[in-house]
Amino acid sequence: MAFWNRKKTDSQPGTGEGLDLSRLPRHVGIIMDGNGRWAKKRGLPRTAGHAAGAESFRTIAYYCKDLGIPYLTVYAFSTENWKRPMEEVSAIMNLLQNYLLEALEKMERDGFRVHFFGDLEGLPPKLRDLCLRTLEEGDALDGTRFQVNVCLNYGGRDEILRAAKAWAADVQAGRQTPEALTDELFSRYLDSRGVPDPDLIIRPSGELRLSNFLPWQSAYAEFYFTDVLWPDFGPAVLDQALIDYQRRQRRFGGV
């Protein structure tokens, strides 16, 4: 599947109608959920749902870029997803591998880069090497680019624990002092360091929970839930989420 080649999809196209393009979120996070249920409804194997979901990701990523949203973070594979059947896990790993190969070909031409949140050491060696190569080549690109953050072997609690261990190691080595710790400083130890916190988190499929997705970063995010399954999530649904976001007043604890 060509993830970064533009082509028509079955999803209703977005028009941007009703959107204030000057008030778009800077960072959108999406929990890509519902692939398995989408496939089951059609009498297909779950792997077919993941393939359809990969196409939705491609479409939404390009649409966010075209709208001018600088950052998109997607939940691709969690630390808990290893519990799934081996056939399903292998299919997801293959889709991710294909995505990275396509991304390596298209990043420079299409003006985007890819980063990763999660423990890459826990991935199959071939996929891990592709991730590292994608990071290296993306970081070498000049200019401001749309950035896709892929949460891969990611869990929010695991991220915080890894950050805490790194902080403790720096304290033990004398590079930090306990008194110096602040929210901002601790954030530099997270996978998301250098990336602004998400303004909007979207979860399709009708589930009303975060499922260990960016718990630290989402402290002041707005949430949008929809019953649409991820393979059916197109630009028109994203438009609805963005319009809903723009109707809200964000106070960040103030009045």
Phi, psi of 154 (to 5 degrees): -115, 140
**CA 139 – CA 175 distance, rounded (Å):** 26
**CA 26 – CA 72 distance, rounded (Å):** 9
**CA 60 – CA 83 distance, rounded (Å):** 28
Q: In what helix (H) or strand (E) does residue 160 lie, and over which residues does it extend?
A: helix 156-172
**Residue 135 is which amino acid?**
L
**CA 82 – CA 149 distance, rounded (Å):** 20
Sign (positive or negative) of CA dihedral 60, 65, 69, 74: positive
* Residues with a known catalytic role: 33, 81
Give SS3 for 7. Answer: coil
